[in-house]
């Protein structure tokens, strides 16, 4: 039991060292997060890099929280186990104490019985001594005065039969005296034997009592060790719980900061989109209302006039819809599996491949910094470098990549920045 306690104590010390190290890491992360927070607060703009850093840091806090919670669960299990052990020891001490009390009571009863037997032996010895004394005196008298006694018996008898009766009577008295003495000896022997048995049992009970007292002393030592173990576990549990609460508080603070940064980033993108749209509209108005179209590209006069990429398709998810801590970066248009996907404008295919998230997708550059993207295709019908015309089939509706139903994920880029596709269709 003591070895187990020492091993458990060593385990607790190691856990405390690990907890202290984790607390140091948490402090460093707090300092770093405060630096990022200051950077975001002081900066005029929020970047995706800053948001990704915050999310990485939040994931680290989540990992630490899981690790600390796992320690807490282990400590709570060990704490409950030690409490059960303590309760068992308490019960054993209580039962042992009752046994000791019962044995003490029994020993006390044997003390009384032994004293009674000692008194009985004393009385029996006195009776035996008295009877022996009378018997000896009678024999001595008969030996000293036996002839006269017999003459007296002879002359005092009235007849021969009376004489015989007198002799038998004297013999009976002597036999009775002898038998009484022998009986007294037997009774005294039995009483002494009973007394010896009582003393032997008393000694055995006292030995058993000593063993129980030794056992109870060991149980008290085990109880003290169990109580110390429980106190140590409770201290460690309090330390780990405080650390977990600190991590949760910092995790929640980071989530609020992430939400704020994401919203600010979305607002920045929307503001940039509107600014570019106004600039394009201004350029379009300054170039006149005619505005011819080129062969392989599209002039600014085509702003807002991109062709619907899925004939007959319907919108299933709009641009900017929140998705967790992010927002939808394109327009989802649903259609039957295998339906045609067409180029929204003339241009050159710059991407045609498979990606983990978008599955099969195509990107077309239309000139003037405008690009369109078509994702989740069942297959692509064009290759990189192909020059396509407005309305040409470039792919087919599918649900490859991170998708569960047939649809196209359609994006529009202006100078490398995503914009709301609905403003261009």
What DSSP state is assigned to residue 295? Answer: S
Least confident of 89-103, 173-187, 223-237: 173-187
Q: Which long-range contacts (CB under 8 A, 24 or more apart) does 74-82 make?
A: 75/15, 75/233, 75/236, 75/237, 75/240, 76/237, 78/8, 78/233, 79/230, 79/233, 79/234, 79/237, 82/226, 82/229, 82/230, 82/233
Does 352 have pLDDT greater than 60? yes
- 303: helix, strand or coil: coil
Least confident of 168-182, 249-263, 373-387: 168-182
pLDDT of residue 32: 46
Q: Which CATH number fits domain 1-286: 3.10.20.30, 1.10.287.2610, 1.20.140.10, 1.10.3130.10?
A: 1.10.287.2610
pLDDT of residue 152: 61
Percent of the chain with pLDDT over 90: 29
The pLDDT-based confidence of 73 (bands split at 50, 70, 90) is very high
In the CATH hierarchy, which top-level class contains the domain 303-423?
mainly beta
Percent of the chain with pLDDT over 70: 75
Mean pLDDT of the chain: 79
Distance CA 314, CA 227 (A): 70
pLDDT of residue 410: 96
CA dihedral sign, ordered 301, 303, 309, 313: negative
Spatial CA neighbour of 134 closest among 171, 173, 186, 172 = 173
Does 376 have pLDDT greater than 70? yes
339, two tokens: 């339906």
More confident of the two residues 132 and 290: 132
pLDDT of residue 36: 46
Does 140 have pLDDT greater than 50? yes
CA dihedral sign, ordered 195, 197, 198, 199: positive
pLDDT of residue 202: 78
Does 211 have pLDDT greater than 50? yes
pLDDT of residue 399: 92
Does 35 have pLDDT greater than 60? no
Least confident of 2-16, 332-346, 379-393: 2-16
Cα 213 to chain centroid distance, Å, stands at 38
pLDDT of residue 149: 54
Q: What is the longest distance spanned by two Cα atoms in the chain?
A: 187
pLDDT of residue 278: 79
Q: Which residue has the tokens 């939040």?
A: 58
Listed by start position, the domains of the chain span 1-286, 303-423
Distance CA 101, CA 107 (A): 10
282, two tokens: 């201004």
pLDDT of residue 160: 64
Cβ atoms < 10 Å from Cβ of 398: 22
Does 20 have pLDDT greater than 60? no
More confident of the two residues 193 and 39: 193
Q: Which residue has the tokens 């201004």?
A: 282
Distance CA 74, CA 13 (A): 15
**One fold for both 1-286 and 303-423?**
no
The pLDDT-based confidence of 143 (bands split at 50, 70, 90) is low
């Amino acid at each position: 039991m003591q070895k187990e306690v020492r091993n458990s104590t060593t385990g607790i010390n190691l856990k405390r060292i690990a907890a202290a190290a984790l607390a140091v890491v948490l402090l460093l992360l707090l300092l770093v997060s405060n630096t990022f927070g200051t950077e975001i607060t002081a900066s005029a703009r929020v970047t995706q890099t800053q948001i990704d850093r915050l999310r990485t840091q939040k994931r680290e806090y989540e990992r630490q929280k899981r690790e600390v919670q796992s320690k807490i669960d282990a400590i709570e299990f060990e704490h409950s186990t030690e409490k059960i052990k303590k309760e068992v020891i308490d019960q054993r001490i209580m039962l042992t104490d009752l046994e000791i009390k019962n044995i003490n009571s029994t020993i006390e009863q044997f003390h009384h019985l032994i004293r009674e037997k000692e008194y009985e032996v004393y009385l029996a010895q006195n009776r035996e001594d008295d009877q022996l004394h009378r018997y000896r005196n009678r024999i001595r008298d008969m030996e000293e005065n036996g002839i006269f006694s017999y003459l007296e018996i002879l002359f005092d008898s009235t007849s021969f039969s009376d004489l015989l009766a007198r002799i038998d009577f004297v013999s009976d008295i002597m036999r009775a005296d002898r038998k009484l003495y022998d009986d007294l000896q037997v009774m005294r022997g039995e009483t002494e034997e009973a007394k010896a048995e009582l003393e032997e049992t008393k000694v055995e009970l006292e030995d058993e009592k000593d063993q129980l007292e030794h056992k109870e002393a060991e149980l008290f030592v085990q109880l003290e060790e169990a109580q110390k173990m429980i106190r140590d576990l409770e201290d460690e549990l309090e330390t780990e719980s405080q650390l977990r609460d600190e991590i949760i508080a910092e995790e929640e603070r980071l989530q609020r900061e992430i939400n704020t940064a994401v919203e600010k980033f979305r607002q920045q993108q929307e503001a940039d989109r509107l600014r570019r749209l106004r600039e394009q509209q201004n350029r379009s108005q300054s170039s006149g209302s005619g505005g011819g179209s080129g062969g392989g590209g599209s002039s600014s006069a085509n702003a807002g006039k991109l062709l619907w990429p899925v004939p007959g398709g319907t919108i299933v998810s709009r641009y900017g819809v929140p998705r967790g801590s992010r927002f939808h970066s394109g327009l989802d248009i649903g259609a039957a599996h295998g339906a045609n996907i067409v180029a929204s404008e003339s241009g050159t295919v710059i991407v045609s491949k498979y990606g983990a998230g978008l599955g099969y997708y195509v990107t077309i550059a239309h000139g003037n910094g405008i690009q369109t993207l078509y994702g989740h295709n069942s297959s692509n019908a064009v290759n990189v470098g192909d020059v396509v015309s407005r309305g040409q089939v470039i792919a087919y509706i599918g649900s490859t990549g991170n998708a569960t139903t047939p649809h196209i994920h359609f994006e529009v880029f202006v100078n490398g920045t995503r914009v709301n596709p609905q403003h261009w269709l």
